[in-house]
């Protein structure tokens, strides 16, 4: 996939979509036994998750974890500084605090994330929807090259879905592409995918354009499951 493109991955429960996201991101619990991950001509397969993040990969989790003791603000500042440091070849280059705060407040307002969340511990006691919005806030602040969104639409109320989807859409540009894992056509009404991939049993079994998502919503996956 390329920057400026939106790819949707749709598939039944347990087909391996989250596993794909974790494998791409370098989650230590997953070992890649076959295939390679190539990004900008570089093989990332052996790199650690933080090294992949420094190169611009980002994953918004289906089930974000709480990080008690670390506020949203300090988490974001450390993550940004880690990326800036890596880009400077290991030399510290911390973001200026006023600049950081200004952008954080702007992005929070844009994504309608309550300002009160910034000083709370990351995801600690957050509602399901608040966690998802804060995932997108992280994406907006970190400005990845490729953003993987694992069911970011699940559990969002109607207004939040629209805000979050537009937030993602605004970031898709020559600087960023998005891989959107979803069960529902609805988020794709706001973020029109360039490609839709049907994922069954760990494999892509069909590819198409946005019309494929409509077809899946109408027909389900039975047609594919009969084949595998
Ligand atoms: N750590 C693990 N050890 C063993 N099996 C696992 C592990 N993690 C996931 N699985 C299994 O791998 C399969 C694929 O899981 P995965 O979470 O990738 O599915 P998914 O497509 O994201 O499903 P959903 O739509 O429900 O989120 C499932 O059968 C799951 O139980
Ligand atoms: Mg999943």
Q: Which two tokens stand for residue 60?
A: 């918004």
Ligand 1: nearest atom to the Cα of 22: 18
pTM of the predicted model, to two decimals?
0.91
Ligand 1: nearest atom to the Cα of 62: 27
DSSP E strand stretches across the chain = 6-10, 38-39, 42-43, 57-60, 67-71, 121-122, 146-150, 177-181, 195-200, 203-208
pLDDT at 227: 60
Nearest-angstrom CA–CA distance, 132 and 61: 8
Nearest-angstrom CA–CA distance, 4 and 2: 6
CA of 93 to the centre of ligand 1 (A): 39
Q: Which two tokens stand for residue 115?
A: 């300002």
Nearest CA to ligand 1 atom 11: 14
CA of 118 to the centre of ligand 1 (A): 32
Q: Which two tokens stand for residue 210?
A: 């946005």
Domain architecture of the chain: domains with CATH: 6-67+129-225 (3.40.50.300)
Instruction: Starting from the CA of residue 22, give the closest ligand.
Output: 1
Ligand 1: nearest atom to the Cα of 21: 18
pLDDT at 21: 95
Q: What is the pLDDT along the chain (228 residues), one digit of tens a residue?
A: 888 899 999 999 999 999 999 999 999 999 899 999 999 889 999 999 999 999 999 999 989 999 999 999 999 999 999 999 988 888 999 999 999 999 999 999 999 999 999 999 999 999 998 999 999 999 999 999 999 999 999 989 999 999 999 999 999 999 999 999 999 999 999 999 999 999 999 999 999 999 999 999 999 998 887 665
Which residues place a Cβ less than 5 A from the ion ligand 2? Answer: 17-18, 62
Q: Kind and range of the H or E element at 52? A: helix 49-54
pLDDT at 224: 85
Q: Which residues line ligand 1 (CB under 6 A)?
A: 11, 13-19, 29, 62
CA of 86 to the centre of ligand 2 (A): 30
Pocket test for ligand 1, best of 15, 24, 203 (most atoms within 8 A of CB): 15
């Amino acid at each position: 996939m390329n920057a400026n493109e939106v790819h949707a991955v749709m598939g039944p429960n347990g087909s391996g979509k989250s596993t794909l996201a974790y494998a791409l991101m370098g989650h230590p619990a997953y070992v890649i036994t076959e295939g390679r991950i190539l990004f900008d001509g570089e093989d990332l397969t052996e790199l650690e998750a933080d090294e992949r993040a420094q190169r611009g990969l980002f994953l918004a989790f289906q089930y974000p974890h709480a990080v008690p003791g670390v506020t949203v603000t300090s988490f974001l500042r450390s993550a940004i500084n880690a990326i800036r440091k890596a880009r400077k070849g290991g030399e510290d280059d911390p973001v200026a605090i006023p600049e950081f705060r200004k952008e954080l407040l702007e992005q929070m307002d844009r994504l309608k994330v309550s300002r009160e969340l910034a000083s709370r511990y990351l995801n600690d006691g957050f509602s399901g929807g608040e966690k998802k919005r804060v995932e997108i806030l992280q994406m907006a602040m970190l400005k990845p090259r490729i953003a993987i969104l694992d069911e970011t639409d699940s559990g969002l109320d109607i207004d939040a879905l629209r805000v979050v989807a537009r937030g993602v859409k605004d970031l898709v540009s020559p600087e960023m592409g998005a891989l959107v894992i979803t069960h529902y056509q609805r988020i794709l009404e706001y973020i029109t995918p360039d490609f839709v991939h049907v994922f069954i049993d760990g494999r892509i079994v069909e590819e198409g354009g946005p019309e494929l998502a409509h077809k899946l919503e109408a027909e389900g996956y039975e047609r594919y499951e009969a084949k595998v």
